[in-house]
Structure 1
């Protein structure tokens, strides 16, 4: 059946939809990259790479690509969504440049903006935004990693001198893996345990000068992290402090302050809530990384799919070699990744809108911030893992050519490797998501023993309407039709895909809630043991929730597509994503009685015989819609192969 070849994707319209709300900002940043050739030079020595990236960052500043998220006096428009959009495009230039931007603007400058007050904005922010003062974000410690609440660095207030004394008590408390720490940073936002009058008040942020004219200031120590597995344009290093004194006013005091005589006050009474509020103000790191790695996937798929449409291998029955994209296995390798990437694009657009609404004050409530943090954590974890998988598969799909540094895939894979670790280890992120889901479950079903589990097992369901940060719905019991054809006809319906995906999330959370339930007197040790026992299940449930969000965002995006041909093609692509998730989790659906064996078999059959053949003719137009110019992709892999094939054909004819 070739009816799918008679329809065409409206590349221009879908390209605009993929660029999204801040399309003009993205275009501008892309043009700056190409005009100023802000490209990674593969194989450049580390020392040279670091200096190149610093110069490139200042080129971005001069070109107006960095100031979007700050006040007008710093050249910006207080447009958080635009700021993150510009950052996300820099992966096409050099991931090191992207992260250099992220350190300077998403972390250092944004900490001053969101954790500081007017004094800090007037005193420190201008030089940070201009890069006159490159800065570090000194939160992570060698011995504490993701456990920020337990960091060891202290800031003790001295009422006699009206100063804070910043001190690193031991090697475990060195600030580690910090961009700009080894060479370029002249100041740092340092997170430390605040003490006044011998009383501990928890983690707070301080503006601390660390260098002047390139030389470390007294009491400040620095070590270079050296050569890394990727991102070697970033001067990562360690910082430690030996009783370094800073003025009382260097406390970034939006949420808490210390008076001249040492009295501590806070607008947030709960120390735990105060801690999470300060960290929540910096959620943009997770949001922006999600968009960055999605762009990296676009780049990898553009390279691999275009090559697969030119590369020919193995003669068929007619004696002619086929392009490798015509082989079912190659379609299986790349087209589901393309479908998932589109799902990630639309999910990220919703997340970016949500972020923008919170940080502009359009929708800034405790609930909206919690929702943002939950979805951002899930999206960052899944997207960074997906990026590594996608880039690696694209590399392999290009064979030996994909291993050549000039074709970018190996360098891209190496640079993206640490994205799964920074801004929160992915496994830790998903535990936070799962805890939120359990909290939503407890609110929705308030019986003390979570007594709804039996009704799920029996397939008797109610309804729950819970916001985007948590659970979304319940699925009815699946009835086996007994026929593969009828089964796939049932499963391919949008509402039934949704039921299967939501049912999996809800059932997993319900079982976890039941298993984590502690009967009898409260026992902290017992609760910790239970949590540890089901830690892996928590992560699996959070991952399932993230997959559901992706499917829903793709489905919502379909409703915005006006061109009928494009809507049909993207619907097939959405179905490929949904069916791929179901196929990857067939064991769960079979074990839990949600799918019969015939229906499970039908899912794989439908992918191979319907969805992949329908999408194969549109593979090129779907990557065309990423709107990546040759100057951004910067590889001649497909073009060289096309020329080689043409030359070969001429020789054969002769």
Structure 2
């Protein structure tokens, strides 16, 4: 057995032994009994001074987790960057977000937070957007953990507005705007979404018509549906906007103009000195939102707003003084794809930041569950609510998922950083698909988990001071901006189908889809009737079995989706067939992303240098895998990949692993290394003795 695995008091037969064993029923019975040989000991009675204690559930084989080593491995080389952010804001209580704050006050506070961090704290993340994205995302995550609105405000300034200038512009734009964006002297916004068009960027209707006589572009909002909507930084603070519009060139034929496709333009929207709205620009406040009220979202309408020709961000297409269009890319679709490809950093950042928010929620919920005592055996002390199996079922797979997502998004950031350095075409395609899938999958999971964490903390979870309400409301929009999650999952499914087609045409598969080389041949064969019955713990906790199971499911879904689409296209056409199979395609995309997440987690476990941390990560990784397999056990049963006895063993092992993770849950959340002043919730701090006193003081007792 791998030394990183937990050792049980009763040895389990290996998969190989089970295959040749003459007494399978006896071995199965022994194995099942083993899962029940570890009753939880009653918790210790309260101490004489009645101080609150975090209860430890005594159990066999509890791991000795080195929290400092695990934390060092988790936070990696950018730990110091995040600590700088935390230290600065800890020294500035005046910049910390209070529980109750109005919309207008929150907006001004977020702007002061950004200005203070950059100008007083000396933390300037803009240069890292292109040069070292991992460092930038680490700073952005820390900002978002402090206040989600602040994190988004920072992202709008540097990743969206600033990133569009760096990624879509050329040297002249960098030279002119870099310092102003870096110092926030040039606060800006990213004007892509329109009232009528959001995810369909290619269908945007704002126009930028070139005026040959004046050497200018004229920006127009042709009708109300083309008003730029939900534009962060626009309502109050922005002085510039990167406006996405159809580039229209005059022609000498009867058409009058030629549509060259969507391009990006720098448009000043407010006077640099007076901050007054510039002529032709109309700005309205989008008002109070469900969450993120520290971000000043606005709507923009343009009425014949003139900008110099040089304000076209011309990396992928340019217009000369005489009105001629030039580009290294031959078609509108290729230029559009290149433009969006350079903006993929927004999705990377959202996925990464969503995990940071999930860490906060899981930490609060688990620490409270360890603290809170409720009921228990007759005439004995009450027990921790995390000792209840139902509570473990709620929170322990979520904790495992948080770890899985951490490594998956860290890997995504590393791939994105490498892509920015090399511009390798295969890596560009890989990052595009992976960022779309992870952003959709992780943000959806986090949104659901925030509600679960609130419920797991009962009435105290409903108190605003304990943060679940603000976290849930602020994070909710993560499922929508930078691409609606349902749309992004369709992009993943479409890419999977393209790779499926390449497989049968002998083409080269992109990095993310490498496992399809084997899956379409190996996994599509009939399941092995012997291995489908193996139920030993060694077998179920073997990473090869786990990854094979995930990939088998994806391969089955991909094959059946391709067959269904082919069938329905004959009668419904390609669009109708896609719509007819849409739910199937979304499930396919999610299955693929889960496979990638597990693969990344397995690699992270193997690469961990500290033995105790590696053992803890292996336990958590096994729970992640078993929980996902059990959640979709019907799929595996329907195709005889898992026999009934094996399905029962998976269920019991999932419960047992949840119980074992519960025993080290405190160490696992402590390894996130998030300071108490950042956690802020009284019920979620590391020092539980002070929890209720602080909680009482908050309401005046």
TM-score (norm 1): 0.91
- The corresponding residue for 1:461 is none
**Is 1:29 aligned to 2:80, yes or no?**
no
After TM superposition, the structure 1 stretch with the greater mean CA deviation from structure 2, 421-430 or 466-475, is 466-475
Rounded to whole Å, the distance in 2 between the matches of 1:645 and 1:157 is 65
Residues 32, 63 of structure 1: 8 Å contact kept: no
After TM superposition, the structure 1 stretch with the greater mean CA deviation from structure 2, 297-306 or 473-482, is 473-482
Partner residue of 2:166 out of 88, 109, 113: 113
Partner residue of 1:57 out of 114, 136, 144: 114
- The corresponding residue for 1:284 is 345
**Is 1:505 aligned to 2:559, yes or no?**
no
After TM superposition, the structure 1 stretch with the greater mean CA deviation from structure 2, 227-236 or 23-32, is 23-32
- The corresponding residue for 2:680 is 634
Rounded to whole Å, the distance in 2 between the matches of 1:641 and 1:20 is 28
Q: CA RMSD in A?
A: 2.3
- The corresponding residue for 2:511 is 467
- The corresponding residue for 1:606 is 653
Partner residue of 2:667 out of 600, 621, 644: 621
CA deviations over 1:88-125 (Å, ceiling 9, x no partner): 11122110000000100010011011111111112222
- The corresponding residue for 1:217 is 278
- The corresponding residue for 1:358 is 419
User: Cα 1:594–1:66, aligned 2, differ >3 Å: closer, same or farther?
Assistant: farther
- The corresponding residue for 1:456 is none
Q: How many residue pairs end up in the alignment?
A: 622
Rounded to whole Å, the distance in 1 between the matches of 2:195 and 2:393 is 42
Residues 561, 585 of structure 2: 8 Å contact kept: yes
- Kindly state the Cα deviation for residue 643 of structure 1 after the two structures are TM-superposed: 5.8
Partner residue of 2:535 out of 483, 486, 511: 486
- The corresponding residue for 2:105 is 48
Partner residue of 1:11 out of 67, 71, 74: 67
Superposition map of 1:500-579 within 5 A: 500-517=549-566, 526-579=573-626
Partner residue of 2:488 out of 429, 445, 449: 429
User: Cα 1:487–1:12, aligned 2, differ >3 Å: closer, same or farther?
Assistant: closer
- Kindly state the Cα deviation for residue 482 of structure 1 after the two structures are TM-superposed: 9.5
In structure 1, the gaps of 5 or more residues are: 449-463, 647-654
Residues 372, 469 of structure 1: 8 Å contact kept: no
- Kindly state the Cα deviation for residue 481 of structure 1 after the two structures are TM-superposed: 4.9
Partner residue of 2:186 out of 126, 133, 144: 133
- The corresponding residue for 2:463 is 404
CA deviations over 1:197-229 (Å, ceiling 9, x no partner): 111100000000001122111100111110000
User: Cα 1:644–1:199, aligned 2, differ >3 Å: closer, same or farther?
Assistant: closer
CA deviations over 1:255-307 (Å, ceiling 9, x no partner): 11000010011111121111011111111111111111101111111111111
SS of the counterpart of 1:312? coil
- Kindly state the Cα deviation for residue 641 of structure 1 after the two structures are TM-superposed: 6.2
SS of the counterpart of 1:195? strand
- The corresponding residue for 1:20 is 76
Partner residue of 1:175 out of 217, 228, 238: 228
Rounded to whole Å, the distance in 1 between the matches of 2:504 and 2:414 is 30
Superposition map of 1:168-207 within 5 A: 168-197=221-250, 198-207=257-266
- Kindly state the Cα deviation for residue 574 of structure 1 after the two structures are TM-superposed: 0.5
User: Cα 1:313–1:642, aligned 2, differ >3 Å: closer, same or farther?
Assistant: farther
Residues 480, 487 of structure 1: 8 Å contact kept: no
CA deviations over 1:227-262 (Å, ceiling 9, x no partner): 000000111010010010001010001111000010
Rounded to whole Å, the distance in 2 between the matches of 1:65 and 1:441 is 49
Higher RCO (CA-CA < 8 Å; seq separation 6+): 2
Residues 194, 203 of structure 1: 8 Å contact kept: yes
- The corresponding residue for 1:258 is 319
Residues 532, 640 of structure 2: 8 Å contact kept: no
- Kindly state the Cα deviation for residue 30 of structure 1 after the two structures are TM-superposed: 2.2
- The corresponding residue for 2:33 is none
- Kindly state the Cα deviation for residue 489 of structure 1 after the two structures are TM-superposed: 4.8
